[in-house]
Amino acid sequence: LSPAVCGTSRHLAPVLGYLGSRQKHSLPDLPYDYGALEPHINAQIMQLHHSKHHAAYVNNLNVTEEKYQEALAKGDVTAQIALQPALKFNGGGHINHSIFWTNLSPNGGGEPKGELLEAIKRDFGSFDKFKEKLTAASVGVQGSGWGWLGFNKERGHLQIAACPNQDPLQGTTGLIPLLGIDVWEHAYYLQYKNVRPDYLKAIWNVINWENVT
């Protein structure tokens, strides 16, 4: 991923070794302890979510890229195309979760300030209306997926979107991801069970507006 992408995905460019050979992606550290977001998102969820789910996307992404490299070297287009779903799923999973951990903070909550707040008011009417819209988009995902606040570079405005499964926002819609809400059941079930709306209510308490800004 090119660092030109608003710097958002800079961490995800695999490190180029001395001879330019591709090195692997790695699981980013969580910027806080597993229990830091309690009582809004509990420690058990954070630990499984980061050390199992995100870790699996990273591992499987590396395996897939390895296979893709071989298929590319052989010019095997069929194999490349067959690998695309795994690339989108694991690559998207890695991108999405890497953004997500930075979007949350134990010191989060409240409202943004300055330019971001002005843009939210301009594009959604008010902060509360924006909050309602993103909540509704996230709650309304049928199956696994993410709710997003994104930036439409072409039109120069903020936009809310939902993506299925691990489809990455930018790769599939062109919107630049600012704030993501994971609504896969693994993101909340242990604590909120089937009541996804309660998870949404709680997560606003840990949104890291500095990062989103």
Least separation in angstroms between residue 115's CB and its own copies is: 35
Query: Which residues sit in the known binding site?
Result: 49, 97, 182, 186
Give the residue with the Cβ less far from its own copies, 5 or 48.
48
CB of 81 to its own copies, least distance (A): 16
Least separation in angstroms between residue 44's CB and its own copies is 9
3-state secondary structure of 176: strand
Helix pair 127-139, 196-203: axis angle to 10 deg = 150
Which residues contact its own copies (rule: CB under 8 A)?
48, 52-53, 56, 85, 89, 142-145, 164-166, 184-186, 189-190, 193-194
User: What's the 3-state SS for 84-117?
Assistant: HHHHHHHHHHHHHHHHHHHHECCCCCCCCCHHHH
Q: Which residues are documented as binding site for Mn(2+)?
A: 49, 97, 182, 186
Q: Which is nearer to its own copies, 59 or 152 (CB)?
A: 59
Q: Which C-beta is closer to its own copies: that of 3 or that of 85?
A: 85
How is residue 14 written in tokens?
Answer: 């695999």
* Helix, strand, coil tally for the chain in percent (to 5): 55, 15, 35
Closest CA to 100 of 30, 153, 159: 30
Q: Which is nearer to its own copies, 56 or 212 (CB)?
A: 56
Question: What whole-number distance in Å separates Cα of residue 126 and Cα of residue 112?
Answer: 12
- Min CB(107)–its own copies separation in Å: 28
